[in-house]
Amino acid sequence: MSSASTLGVAVVGTGRMGADHVRRLATVVSGARVAAVVDVDPERVKRVAATVEGCAAYTDPAAAMADDSVDALLVASPGPAHEATLLAALDRGLPVLCEKPLTPDPESALRVVAAEAGLGRRRVQVGFMRRYDADYLRLKELLAAGTYGRTLMLHNRHRNPASPPGFTDRMTVDDSLVHEIDVTRWLLAEEITAVRALRPAPSGQAPRGLQDPQLFVFETAGGRLVDTELFVNCGFGYQVSCEAVAERGTARIGEDHGLLTNTAGRWGGEITPGFEQRFEGAYDRQVQRWVDATRRGEVEGPSCWDGYAAAAVCAAGVRAQATGERVEVALAERPALYR
């Protein structure tokens, strides 16, 4: 580390998530400083760098990696740019927290897995932040303890108020459903083996050409079934919930409304407007834990294998979406590093 006291982080990509991580590293997380920011847009990167004292601005990740004050990378650039950045970082032995997706397809994700496995030690953590959400952690603990017997099914709901411009059917899988894919693998501790995609009557609020809502069904290696309603233009707020059905009980998270009001003959509460608010605590915990582990010279959390496995299920999901058929997931052999 360049400074004994803090981890110098280069944030690669300063769009919606990247800018939020810059703010988080600069004002919320302890033990780190934003040493550099990188973006292909030279104006935007200068603007973001100016918000943090002593922060350098680059338009090329390689230049940031060569900067002596940079000890680690937080990658939040668009998915297709991840592979080149990750391979260069692995080449230099730099620790990385990489926003999901690891890469947008299983082939490139497998190349990253192979590069890290070749080093013989983990360097990369993938930003599946739901694993750091207090409610998901409680659910994981309950299911792992087996208190209600074996888990048989999961019912997920994933609703966004509106999809960003240019959002495609494929992105509903790669950007949105990918969270339920990771949560399923993590909560049930087994791989997803097949995917089906169903199309209910489309909402009139969906942008032209986008199938919305959708219903996905996963089968897992242990014969469990997991369904997910994905509705990315629901219009009313951001809602993510998960109900686990076990042999002797059920458990549900994501229904809490925070402040409840009673007035004028009605009771009510508020729905979070977006994922930054809903998962604020999870993002903070994820980045703090990454900084702490990195300063100890360790890597924890979701691995490149998790990123690859999610990409493989996404590929099956996209085919299921296009064909209407049940599609089996093709998974490579898991390298020893990730067993």
Binding stretches for ligand ISE (CB under 6 A):
160, 175-176, 179, 232, 275
Indicate the residue among 116 and 175 with the shorter CB distance to ligand ISE.
Answer: 175
H/E run at residue 157: strand 151-159
Indicate the residue among 151 and 184 with the shorter CB distance to ligand ISE.
Answer: 184
Indicate the residue among 218 and 275 with the shorter CB distance to ligand ISE.
Answer: 275
DSSP characters for 231-274? Answer: ETT-SS--EEEEEEEETTEEEEES---SS-EEETTEEE----SS
Q: Least separation, in Å, of the C-beta of 94 and ligand ISE?
A: 24
CB 7 within 8 A of CB 295: yes
Q: Least separation, in Å, of the C-beta of 322 and ligand ISE?
A: 20
Indicate the residue among 177 and 291 with the shorter CB distance to ligand ISE.
Answer: 177
What are all long-range contacts of 255-264, with beta carbons under 8 Å and residues at least 24 apart?
A: 256/135
Q: Least separation, in Å, of the C-beta of 327 and ligand ISE?
A: 21
Q: Least separation, in Å, of the C-beta of 270 and ligand ISE?
A: 18
Across-strand partners of 151? 246
Indicate the residue among 70 and 183 with the shorter CB distance to ligand ISE.
Answer: 183
Using Cβ positions, the residue closest to ligand ISE within the complex turns out to be 176
Specify burial of residue 15 (Cβ count, 10 A radius: 0-12, 13-18, 19+): middle
> CA-CA distances (angstroms) from residue 18 to 49, 125, 200?
12, 16, 34
CA neighbours within 13 Å on the CB side: how many for 1? 17
Across-strand partners of 131? none
Indicate the residue among 21 and 295 with the shorter CB distance to ligand ISE.
Answer: 21
Q: Least separation, in Å, of the C-beta of 276 and ligand ISE?
A: 9
Q: Least separation, in Å, of the C-beta of 159 and ligand ISE?
A: 8
